[in-house]
A = this chain, B = another copy of it.
Amino acid sequence: MPLQIITSVEEMQNYSSVLRAKGKTIGFVPTMGYLHEGHAALIRHSCLEADITIVSVFVNPTQFGPNEDFSRYPRDFERDCHVAEEAGAAIMYAPTVEEMYPNGYSSMVLAGKESQVFDGVSRPGHFNGVVTVVAKLFNAVKPHIAVFGQKDYQQTLVIKRLVKDLDFDIRIIIAPTERELNGLARSSRNVYLSEHDRENASLIYKALTAAVDARQQGEKNAHSLQAIMQKILMTIPHVHIEYAQAVHADTLMETLDFSDDNSIVFLVAIRLGTTRLIDNFVWHP
């Protein structure tokens, strides 16, 4: 079945209502487009779990700060359709900014407590923009399940909080991060990087695995774990390290020393020139 493109909220709602009335389960993969192997993996994951997979492509202006890369965010809708179809999606939902935020639009969803740290600090308003657009997409697509990538770890907690707090009847699935051969997490923003940058950015992966290895070998002091990451990240030329931290995986709360049964997330955000890169590893006891 060829990929069907839907651009209006109402058409999307009607389409999903018909699918549900037929007893079909709907899987949903929301994206900002410029799809790569990471998105394809999310789509394939959705296809395994649901009868019909809907992919959205919407570069959401309200989750970008005034000095961020909204206008230059990479876009290639034709290729996105190919990638989505190849991976098994049935529907591409691609509303315009005017369709999503028409004249008079003035409501907002405020993200919960997991949004108050890390990227919530460095990108003020970002998570409110995310949960608002995700709530809108959920109401238009009406999925049974929605698949998000673990690469945006804090976002996965923020989305789970949204779903729990606002009683969305949607199961959230977190799919593992896809990586390039050198370990760099796949991201649409990697296109901003030179060949050389990409090689240097792979040190993020090395920093994360080194910290995980240390924890595996018994290191439980947060500062020591963080120092291991810092030391490696600092070898990246011209790097600006935004954060490199080890915190509780379920709450993002800081601690001095982890106990044996704590799950830990290692979170990194750096800037290389004007490109911001994030990555993470979760360690379970």
Contacts from A to B (Cβ < 8 Å): 9, 13, 17, 20-21, 23, 104-113, 131-132, 135-137, 139-140, 142, 161-162, 164-169
Contacts and interface: CB of A to CB of B under 8 A. Distances in A.
B168 A139 contact: yes
B9 A166 contact: no
Which of A107, A135, A162, A166: most chain B Cβ within 10 A? A107
A136 B162 CA distance: 11
8 nearest CB pairs, A to B: A106-B112, A107-B165, A106-B113, A139-B167, A13-B169, A107-B112, A108-B110, A136-B167
Nearest to A135: B166
A105 B110 CA distance: 12
B109 A109 contact: yes
**How many identical subunits does the complex contain?**
2
A113 B109 contact: no
A107 B107 contact: no
Given A21-B23, A107-B112, A109-B110, 20 more contacts: A13-B167, A17-B169, A20-B20, A104-B112, A104-B113, A104-B164, A105-B112, A106-B165, A107-B110, A107-B111, A107-B161, A108-B110, A109-B109, A109-B166, A132-B166, A135-B135, A136-B165, A136-B166, A137-B167, A139-B168
Given A139-B169, A166-B139, A167-B139, A161 B113 contact: no
B17 A162 contact: no
A160 to B, nearest CB: 11
Nearest to A20: B20
A225 to B, nearest CB: 26
Contact of A140 (B9, B139, B162, B167): B167
Contacts of A107: 109-112, 131, 161-162, 165-166
Contacts of A161: 104, 106-107
A97 to B, nearest CB: 14
Contacts of A110: 107-110
Nearest to A17: B169
Nearest to A102: B164
Contacts of A20: 20-21
8 contacts: A21-B23, A104-B164, A106-B165, A107-B109, A107-B131, A109-B110, A136-B165, A136-B166
